[in-house]
Chains A and B, each alone.
Chain A
Amino acid sequence: MKPILETRDLVKYYGQGENVVKAIDHTDLRIAAGEFTAIVGRSGSGKSTLLHMLGGLDRPDSGKVLIEGKDIFNLKDERLAMFRRRKIGFIFQSYNLISSLNVWENIVFPIGLDGRKVDHDFVMDIIRKIRMEDKIHALPSTLSGGQQQRVAIARALAARPAIILADEPTGNLDSRTEMEVISLLKSCVRDYGQTLVMITHDETIAQMADRVLVIEDGKVVRS
């Protein structure tokens, strides 16, 4: 199967000389479309850096990131931002909703940025899925952590990106809510045919993935 997401000899070092940290050290990986991949590793192993590279948030020292066969770092900043909002949905550990916007506005924000019309039925469909239909006008500060993360998931899905990148999306949640959010995420990805790459250090969650990549010192040691 043709990979939707691929890295070739990707390198990112921080610091210099003695203190150099090899966050990503000549990493090659391929992720197929529709796959649910979990990236696991210890704290400081370079998994977050890898995710940021995959999403085009940070530029590598060398190597390539190909999305649908296209090298994203060949793009200028402006094009890269556009590419990101069309192809990639991000979910962060700390939800990162925009506090001045209500639930609905947070969800449609990436669509608005792209200047596209909002597909109301589709967005409402997602909102029903995350069971937030009675909170459309609520501001983020009035929501619980689990609710906020559900809204963040909806935001990532709403622009129909091909790839969802999630950085420990359940890190701030209790275990019951955690399972609920992961199941939701998984079912959404399946329903909309998207690819999910998720960082976690929770073994149980990793077990739910189609594939698990283990990162150590910037290298994929097991896949």
Chain B
Amino acid sequence: MRTVTKTALANVRQNKSRNILCGIAIGLTTLLVFVILTLGNGLLQLQEAAVNVYYPTYHVMYRGVNEEGISQLKAYDDIEKIGLREDFGQIPDDDATILMIAMDDKALALSKMELKEGNFPKEEKDIVVSQNILDELGLQAGIGDEITIPYQIYEGNELGYQQEEHFRICGLTQSTESTNKNTVYAVLFSSEYMKQMIPEKEREYRVMMRLKTAEQITTETIEKRCEEIGVAIGCATPDIVSNTQYLAANYKDPSTYPIIAGIIAIVVIAGILTIYSIYYVSMIPKVQEYGKLKAMGATKRQIRQIVFQEGMLVAFLAIPIGLIVSSMLSKVLMVGVFHYMNDGDAFTKVALTLLKEGKVQILFPWVYLLTIVVTLVMVIFSIFRPMQKAAGISPVEAMRYQADSTQNKKKKRKGYQELNLFRMTKANLQRNRKRTMITILTLSATGILFITMSHILSCSNPVTSAKRAIEEDYKISIDYKESDKMKPELEWTNIQKNNPMNETFLEQLRAVEGVESVKTKSFLMGAIEGITTEDGDSGAYIIGLDQSYEKALQDGVIDGKIDWSEMEKGNQIILADGYMTYYFPELKAGDVLHMSLETGDTIVEKDFEIAAIGEYGEGIASAEFILPKDVMDSLSSDNLTYSCEIEVAENQKEKAYAELKSLADNTGYMETDTYEEELETYEKTSKLLSVMAYAFLIVLGGIGVMNLLNTMVNSIYTRKRELGVMQAIGLSRRQLTHMLQLEGLFYTAGVLVLSLGIGSVAGYGLFLYAKQRHMFDVHYYQYPLVQAVLLVVVVTVIQLALSYGITRSLRRQSLIEQVRYSE
């Protein structure tokens, strides 16, 4: 082994306590970097895996494609799979629509068709039914039984004559619970049977198609490409239907990556500060050592090498340990996070099962590699200065070097006429102001981060958020769907024409026991001319509120002013601070917007002047624009009522909620929401957010404590002899303890002042930023008092414990040993 390496190895052994501290700091940083990367990446992977298990995996469905179209499709290189489904007839029934369908294997796989029992059709006369269908047809049968069913085959756009035939039940699908009257069921027949019944040129398939390498491209690109192909094979636009649920669930939020990168950057900076500080502080007693090496002929390069190799040796021990611990921790954490998020919905359950059964890969080689690279770079970065310092020492200076004396460039000190312990301590801290300040600053880094992050957690109060999200206790709103091309009856303009939220319905609501008041809001949408986004004119979503909201609206005004009577004239509108003001910051009070609003079958064109811009919660205004309800209602002859805000007596909630829900569900067009549900959702997210944030801060705090420990230990051990001398000339043990505690107290006070001071300012800044950007759901400022007190207590306790431990260890040595130390 080379001499340099030998010396480095010997140094590792000699500076055991420093290297252990460094090792822990490096290990903790490794752990944080790894866990953050793994969790971030793992959540994305798991989401994707669960989406693939849970949702049908085709990207698009083309309807009405003939055999020629299919052979065209097969020529595309970028198509991974196509599955064919043919709807070829119906089974006559009074209440429900029962379709006869046939699907090939690929279609079965792509549509995630699953059987409760049995197999998919193998023989020509095999069928798959559900219990619902059997009930509907009044049949009692099970797997293997032959049943006779009537049917009508499609002939062009019509149904042919009714026929009857025997079929064997080969499989059962899960029955679905549905209260809807117009239920559609499907019986699955074999492809052979379908082919026999429908001549080749008359077949019109529904083609389920999945593109290749869709993981790497954006949702928008997938949709665009699917449409291109569809158009090319001659599909009309309404017949090209995206699998929106699957695409949306698979949508990867590109903002995840910068967030993860940001968190890692913070961890790495904290790590660098800590390791640097540990090296910097423990370099002082080593100076003489390096001086001796130089005197013996070591070159600058060799000394740099020694320090570098010492650091690397520690890193090579600490990083693998960090990786092993974090590998084990990662899965536990992932399961924990999903357990936390588990609100009983099927999707989370699927994800959790996948995770527990180990079907999703969580640990990736690239994460290991990246963690190692990041941590090594961090170590190299932090020992760079100490390396230069050690190499720059002149041997003569080093040999004469006594702890701290060369650091002190001052020649004189004004001092005090009379001395006491306090002044003594002060003199001690002043001897190297720069070092004292650096130490306090690095120690404060974690504290500042803690207080800053606590601001967000304290400001995003679930109760406040829930109260903003829903106005009263219960809310019923129209569940319209604009994008579902298969269900045009659910479009808002169509619902308006025969709006189920009519006076009769409202009367029914008011009649429910416990309901104290029912308020309604109207809704309209359209487009704004001249305000354009990538997709054309920006949408205009307007909510109509009655005069009882006047005060709330006035209170939220940030620009312009609201004169209700002026507004009732119908030419003014209120703009809610949010989406529109974010994307079109140039909008201000006084601007005139030309809107075309979709009412029933006609489009109403109208100019509105922005009277005011205001800041309103989702509960009051769930749209970007607000009009007086009367003005809105006058724009259409149809019923524009969109939602009801219902106040329910506290003690009758349970029963009233159930009745309200059943009233809403009966219409088939409404969705419901309660204050309690909102609160639960917000509590869950805020709890998860805080658990993650605090776990992160605790590990970061651990690094901070290493730093504190190192500083304290070193500041005492480098002065060991001096402290011994002080005792020899009469400093009692109690006075010594006192002095060290005073010193510690100064550091504590410094750390707390900086953490609370800078942390609070930064936290308030972050609050303003988050509020403006509508992040983390923060709206009102609330100082994180509990967290601040917690920080004070924890830092003080740690400091006291450290002082106590160090003085105890100092006591174990006799005075003689201390005085002789380093002599």
Q: Which residues of A contact B (CB under 8 A)?
A: 52, 55, 57-58, 77-78, 81-82, 84-86, 89-90, 92, 94, 96, 98-102, 104-105, 108-115, 117-118, 120, 137-142, 155-156, 159
Interface status of B498 (Cβ within 8 A of chain A) = no
- Residues on the B chain within 8 Å of A90, using CB: 728-729
- In the complex, what distance in Å separates the CA atom of A78 from the CA atom of B732? 6
Q: Are B814 and A117 in contact (CB under 8 A)?
A: no
A153 → B minimal CB distance (Å) = 12
Smallest CB-CB A-B distances: 3 pairs = A85-B730, A112-B419, A81-B732
Q: Are A96 and B732 in contact (CB under 8 A)?
A: no
Give me 4 other A-B pairs in contact (C-beta within 8 A), A57-B815, A141-B405 excluded. Answer: A81-B727, A84-B730, A102-B413, A159-B730
Query: Please, could you name 23 A-B residue pairs with CB atoms under 8 Å apart, sorted by A?
Result: A55-B728, A81-B730, A98-B722, A99-B402, A99-B403, A99-B404, A101-B415, A102-B413, A102-B415, A104-B415, A104-B417, A109-B424, A111-B419, A112-B420, A113-B421, A113-B731, A114-B730, A118-B417, A137-B412, A137-B414, A139-B408, A141-B402, A156-B729
Interface status of B59 (Cβ within 8 A of chain A) = no
- Residues on the A chain within 8 Å of B531, using CB: none
- In the complex, what distance in Å separates the CA atom of A58 from the CA atom of B819? 12
Q: Are B729 and A109 in contact (CB under 8 A)?
A: yes
A110 → B minimal CB distance (Å) = 5
- In the complex, what distance in Å separates the CA atom of A77 from the CA atom of B727? 11
Across the interface, name the chain A residue whose C-beta is closest to B823. Answer: A94
Across the interface, name the chain A residue whose C-beta is closest to B722. Answer: A98
- Residues on the B chain within 8 Å of A114, using CB: 730
Q: Are B411 and A113 in contact (CB under 8 A)?
A: no
Interface status of B726 (Cβ within 8 A of chain A) = yes
- Residues on the B chain within 8 Å of A58, using CB: 814-816
Q: Are B722 and A105 in contact (CB under 8 A)?
A: no
- Residues on the B chain within 8 Å of A109, using CB: 419, 424, 726, 729
- In the complex, what distance in Å separates the CA atom of A114 from the CA atom of B735? 10
Q: Are A81 and B733 in contact (CB under 8 A)?
A: yes
| Total residue contacts A-B, CB cutoff 8 A | 125
Contact for B427 among A92, A101, A111, A142, CB less than 8 A: A101
B549 → A minimal CB distance (Å) = 69
B728 → A minimal CB distance (Å) = 5
Across the interface, name the chain A residue whose C-beta is closest to B721. Answer: A96
If over half of B's interface residues share one DSSP class (helix, strand or loop), that class is named, otherwise mixed; here it is loop
B403 → A minimal CB distance (Å) = 8
Q: Return the CB mask of B730-752 against A: 1 if under 8 Å, else 0.
A: 11111100000000000000000
Q: Return the CB mask of B786-823 against A: 1 if under 8 Å, else 0.
A: 00000000000000000000000000001110010001
A53 → B minimal CB distance (Å) = 10
Q: Are A98 and B725 in contact (CB under 8 A)?
A: yes
The answer to whether residues A81 and B731 also contact, given A92-B725, A92-B819, A100-B430 and a CB cut-off of 8 A, is: yes
The answer to whether residues A99 and B728 also contact, given A92-B819, A138-B411 and a CB cut-off of 8 A, is: no
Interface status of B418 (Cβ within 8 A of chain A) = yes
Of residues 666 through 722 on chain B, the ones whose CB sits less than 8 Å from some CB of chain A are: 721-722
Interface status of B410 (Cβ within 8 A of chain A) = yes
Q: Are A52 and B734 in contact (CB under 8 A)?
A: no
Across the interface, name the chain A residue whose C-beta is closest to B735. Answer: A113
- In the complex, what distance in Å separates the CA atom of A96 from the CA atom of B430? 19
Interface status of B81 (Cβ within 8 A of chain A) = no
Across the interface, name the chain B residue whose C-beta is closest to A57. Answer: B815
**Which of B424, B728, B731, B823 has most chain A Cβ within 10 Å?**
B728
- Residues on the B chain within 8 Å of A100, using CB: 404, 408, 413, 427-428, 430-431
Contact for B411 among A89, A118, A139, CB less than 8 A: A139
Across the interface, name the chain A residue whose C-beta is closest to B414. Answer: A137
**Which of A92, A112, A142 has most chain B Cβ within 10 Å?**
A112
The answer to whether residues A99 and B411 also contact, given A112-B418, A113-B735 and a CB cut-off of 8 A, is: no
Q: Are B413 and A139 in contact (CB under 8 A)?
A: yes
- Residues on the A chain within 8 Å of B733, using CB: 77-78, 81
Interface status of B416 (Cβ within 8 A of chain A) = yes
- Residues on the B chain within 8 Å of A81, using CB: 727, 730-733, 735
- Residues on the B chain within 8 Å of A102, using CB: 412-415
Across the interface, name the chain B residue whose C-beta is closest to A105. Answer: B415
- In the complex, what distance in Å separates the CA atom of A118 from the CA atom of B417? 8
Q: Are B816 and A108 in contact (CB under 8 A)?
A: no
Q: Are B412 and A139 in contact (CB under 8 A)?
A: yes
Across the interface, name the chain A residue whose C-beta is closest to B723. Answer: A98
Of residues 406 through 451 on chain B, the ones whose CB sits less than 8 Å from some CB of chain A are: 406, 408, 410-421, 423-424, 427-428, 430-431
- Residues on the A chain within 8 Å of B424, using CB: 101, 109, 112
